[in-house]
Structure 1
Amino acid sequence: MTDAQPGSRIDVTLVAGGMYHDIDFARIQLLTLLAEHEEFRVRVQPDYEDTDAIAAGSILVSYTCNLRPSEDAQRAIRSWVEGGGRWVALHGTNSALDVGTPNGVDSPRIFPLWADTLGSQFVAHPPIMPYTVERSTDDHWLVAGIDPFETDDELYLSEHADRDALEPLLHTKWQGDARGFVEHDWTDGPDEHLVMYLRSLGEGSVLYNTLGHCRGHYDMVPVVDYYPQIERGSWEHPAYYELLRRALRWARGESS
């Protein structure tokens, strides 16, 4: 017998699926972090369509790329967030990609409700190269004490339906050519790009972090059968794991 008080079970859904990324690697990393919370009971699914399971929990964590939810799923998840759900959305959750068009990779605007719920839609990224991530505020515990760090992740260039509705937490600065994408010319646009932000909706909220690229040898099928380089991006940086740990604490309702 001990004096410890029992906690309350917290149901979590992890959606890990999609294309062009090492989903297996990301899934294992996220499950390991989720396992640090003994109250978490985690259900894993490869897409967003089992919305009843998502709605039964209080936390959604997503690591997806080019995973296009049905309109029913978009509406159900939007309603769940507005009702108080907390969603930790990572990397390509906001992406829709048409690969192999004559002018490069296109980002069709095919899910405006999804993009509005998330606060952004991926448009392009420059070739993977080092860039510096900086705090956008000193006043939020999610990023307090996180020193600027350099990462060789995909630098997301996104479209925001209402940027004023977002609470910036991390950003980077860049202008140039995102070669390989249809919308490649970013030489004259804003030089500051959000890396992590909060999007409040009703009683709930979305915490979006664009970092987290990873790719193994076999993740570009059918574009290429074998991708020569293993890419781990921000997963190689302790600061990223600290941000993820704080994100999960935020998702369970902690405020510091």
Structure 2
Amino acid sequence: MKVHLIAAGKFHDIDFARLELLKLLAERPQIRTSVAADYGDLASLAAADLLITYTCDLMPDGLQQVAALEAFLARGGRWLALHGTNATLRFGADGVVDTPDEVPAFTRMLGTRFAGHPPIAPFKVFVTRGDHEITQGLRDFRVEDELYLTHRTAEIDVLLHTSFTGRCDEFRDADWDEAEVPVLYERKVGEGRVLYLTLGHCRGHYDLQPVSAFWPHPQRCAWNYPVFHELLRRAIGWGLPHAA
């Protein structure tokens, strides 16, 4: 079974996330994984059963790469999108972060577009649908992570959610009052499916350059929680149902 992992981007400890995901994939000996740092390896994507992306501020480069993702989903491929996959970050002259929709065909496939997050803090995650293979048997849980706030770009089926009322002062889209903030959702695209899990922030000492030369406190957030690893294991199984 072939998995294509894209792990790259800004302001996160991508090396840590890549290694943790590869360790989880290695638990299934029938999986063979290709690894890339952008969306340019079209041959590996075309051969894959499952695409996994852990990125931030990394978009497909041009129509050919967008079309390859569309073709992957159209033929029945499954895409596990993690954390900042849907994020575009542009720093304004005033230091506030804009999150423009620069590749709308991409965010339309994903079903959401990142818009901001409050400071990292504990929050409660609720099981929205307990009858799905990813959430069956799970209970509501608390986690300390970035609470991702998004705008929906297409129809999605929310499986886990949280809520948020307040401000995200670092982001242009600052004021929020949301009773249902998607944390995990599924979306059907063609014959394929997207599974998006917003948890999983991680950052080391040197990952905020050039914004900050040194980050004093490394962050692992949801990676410290067994429930997050359980969700990832289930998501890998979801991506390869015939390998379960």
Q: TM-score, normalised by structure 1?
A: 0.92
1:99 Cα offset (Å): 2.6
AA aligned to 1:185 is D
Aligned residue for 1:86?
78
1:76 Cα offset (Å): 1.1
AA aligned to 1:170 is L
Aligned residue for 1:236?
224
C-alpha root-mean-square deviation of aligned residues, in Å? 1.4
Question: SS in structure 1 opposite 2:129?
Answer: coil
Q: Counterparts of 1:4-23 in structure 2 under 5 Å? A: 10-23=1-14
Check whether the contact 2:83–2:197 (CA below 8 A) recurs between aligned residues. Answer: yes
1:254 Cα offset (Å): 5.2
Does 2:148 align with 1:160?
Answer: no
AA aligned to 1:182 is R
Question: SS in structure 2 opposite 1:245?
Answer: helix
Q: Percent identity?
A: 44
Gaps of 5+ in 1: 1-9
Counterpart-to-counterpart distance in 1, 2:93 and 2:106: 23
Check whether the contact 1:141–1:255 (CA below 8 A) recurs between aligned residues. Answer: no
Aligned residue for 1:129?
121
Counterpart-to-counterpart distance in 2, 1:195 and 1:32: 23
Q: Counterparts of 1:118-197 in structure 2 under 5 Å? A: 118-162=110-154, 165-186=155-176, 189-197=177-185
Gaps of 5+ in 2: none
- Asked which structure has the greater CA Rg, the reply is 1
Counterpart-to-counterpart distance in 2, 1:208 and 1:124: 16
Counterpart-to-counterpart distance in 2, 1:255 and 1:137: 24
Does 2:27 align with 1:36?
Answer: yes
Question: SS in structure 2 opposite 1:130?
Answer: strand
Counterpart-to-counterpart distance in 2, 1:254 and 1:205: 15
The one of 38, 59, 64 equivalent to 2:55 is 64
Aligned residue for 1:5?
none
Aligned residue for 1:6?
none
Check whether the contact 2:130–2:138 (CA below 8 A) recurs between aligned residues. Answer: no
1:103 Cα offset (Å): 5.2
Check whether the contact 1:127–1:179 (CA below 8 A) recurs between aligned residues. Answer: no
1:44 Cα offset (Å): 0.6
Question: SS in structure 1 opposite 2:121?
Answer: coil
Aligned residue for 1:54?
45
Counterpart-to-counterpart distance in 1, 2:93 and 2:142: 32
1:167 Cα offset (Å): 1.2
Deviates more, 1:208-217 or 1:63-72: 63-72
Residue correspondences, number: 243
Question: SS in structure 1 opposite 2:204?
Answer: coil
4+ runs deviating over 4 angstroms: none
1:211 Cα offset (Å): 0.4
Q: TM-score, normalised by structure 2?
A: 0.96
Check whether the contact 1:86–1:204 (CA below 8 A) recurs between aligned residues. Answer: yes
1:17 Cα offset (Å): 0.2
Check whether the contact 1:18–1:64 (CA below 8 A) recurs between aligned residues. Answer: yes
